[in-house]
Each structure stands twice: as C-alpha cells, then as structure tokens.
Copies of this chain bind each other. A is one copy, B any other.
Amino acid sequence: MRYGECRWPEIEQLDKDRVLVVVPIASLEQHGHHLPLLTDTFLATAVAERVHARLQDRVLLTPTLWLGASDHHLDFPGTISVSNTLYVEMIKQVTRSLVRAGFRRIFFLNGHGGNIAPGETAITEMANDYDTCDDVLIALGSYWTIAASAMKAERHGMTQPQLSHACEYETSLMLALHGQLVKLDLAHGHTHRHAAPPGVRLAGRFHRMTASGALDTPEFATPEKGESLLAAITEEVTHAMQQMLDWPRSHVLKPSAETARANS
C-alpha cells in the first residue's frame, strides 16, 4: 500500500499492528562529478519500491524524505540539507505523527550515511521520552548495513571493499536504475583519505577527503554490478522487513517483587 494514496478512513481502519510503515529517508547532496544530487533519494526509493512490491499488503510505503542531514557536503555547491540537530527533530515529529495515528511498527529505511547518527538519536529519544512510544516498534536501518553480508565485494565483482560515497557501488546502482543521469566518463574518486583507527568515528567535511566529491573507484562501475547489488539488497531488506512484521510484542519486565530479594 502506498501511504500517500490512502484516504484517512482507510488509515483509521487498518490493523495497525499487522502493518509496517516504511519511511524511506535519503538526501539531496553532491555526489561527485558524475552522479546527480538526488542519488541517495533515487537509490533509497528504488530499494523501498522493490520491497514494497514484495510485501504489498503488509507494508505502507510513505514518500521518500529527500531532505537529509548532509551538512558535511555543503562545501560542494548544490547540497540542500538540514543540520544534525534539526534532523533529529524532524525524525522525532514524523515518528510522533505515525504513533498518534496508531501505528505500532515503524521503519526508517535509510539511504544516506549522514542520517544514521541523528536518526538513531531521534528514535531512541522518542522511545525514552514518550510513554506512547515505549511499546511501539521503531527502527532504523540503512540498506547497506542491513544487506552488508550480501553486498560483499567479491559477490558482485567490486573493486572497492565496501560502499562509501558516489563510489563504485552507488554508481553501479545508478547505472542500473537511471543510467541517463550518470556521466561515467567524469567518475573519479580523487580521494586522499587516511584511514581512521578501527572503531573510531572522525568528524569531518567531505572537502577534506575528496576533490571531486566522490570516494574510491566509481570509474569501475557497471550496470551489471548494479543489477546484482540491487537484487541482493532487495532480498535482504525484504527479509528484514518481514522480521519487523513478525517481531513479537514486548512487555515491561522490570518487576518490583524481585527487588526485595535483590537487595537482601
């Protein structure tokens, strides 16, 4: 079901616990010399559409929220973005709207790395702050983390080890989906990255990592690699959505009875 094509009485009558609302979230940001600004939005939407096609009667698919947290790309002209802290509030209020409508299973399907930290900050704050959200299943996952094992480089003939930005993965996916918008002859990573220690997150703007705006080896992208990736991603994300639908109700466990014993 497409959320936006429903009328409100239809929403009202749904068995809210039986359906999963999927909100694709992405960005409008620079993607190197060779990919369009909406790349993340095209990709997240394509994945969401394919998952929706498979789980049509259980998934309510909203339009993709293209306005994302991409301030680390603002040095490249064209990026339209909100700050991390504003993005936190946006995701909180979208969540609130869905909880108020009675939904019990909500999934933010992410297509942009910059949305992860503020998005997770938002959904945990909703669960923590509002008792109305405490027993609602609210989740966020990026297609490349959900499908990490199925996207391994060797399974798709990729040169670079994993998805980064405007890279061989994203370029291949765009070639498969919107080839006419890709200028493959201009694809160049221009990357001068220094690896962060494992397990460490470095703050930083993209203009210090790449001259073109792209990372790694987009020049080796092909539409075939893109098709292969898309099939793998669709499979994994569909599977994750099914798990969300099967997730049992959770209950409050903390007993007071047990306390006496614990303190004796």
Contact = CB atoms under 8 A, between A and B. Distances in A.
Nearest to A11: B78
Given A146-B198, A205-B127, A67 B94 contact: yes
A8 B76 CA distance: 7
**Dominant SS among interface residues on chain A:** mixed
A142 B200 CA distance: 7
A19 to B, nearest CB: 12
A9 to B, nearest CB: 4
B74 A83 contact: no
Identical subunits present = 6
Contact of A253 (B30, B127, B129, B211): B211
B78 A124 contact: no
A224 interface: no
Nearest to A251: B208
Contacts of A213: 8, 254
Interface string A203-233: 1110111111100000000000000000000
Interface in A61-119: 62-63, 65-67, 71-72, 74-86, 88-90, 93-94, 97-98, 100-102, 114, 116-118
Interface of A: 3-13, 28, 30-38, 41, 62-63, 65-67, 71-72, 74-86, 88-90, 93-94, 97-98, 100-102, 114, 116-118, 120-129, 133-135, 137-142, 144-149, 181, 183, 186, 190, 192, 194, 196-205, 207-213, 239-240, 243-244, 247-248, 250-256, 258-260, 262-263
Given A7-B32, A71-B124, A86-B93, 18 more contacts: A3-B37, A3-B78, A4-B66, A6-B78, A7-B31, A11-B37, A33-B262, A65-B67, A75-B252, A82-B89, A85-B89, A85-B121, A138-B202, A139-B202, A148-B199, A207-B253, A207-B254, A210-B253
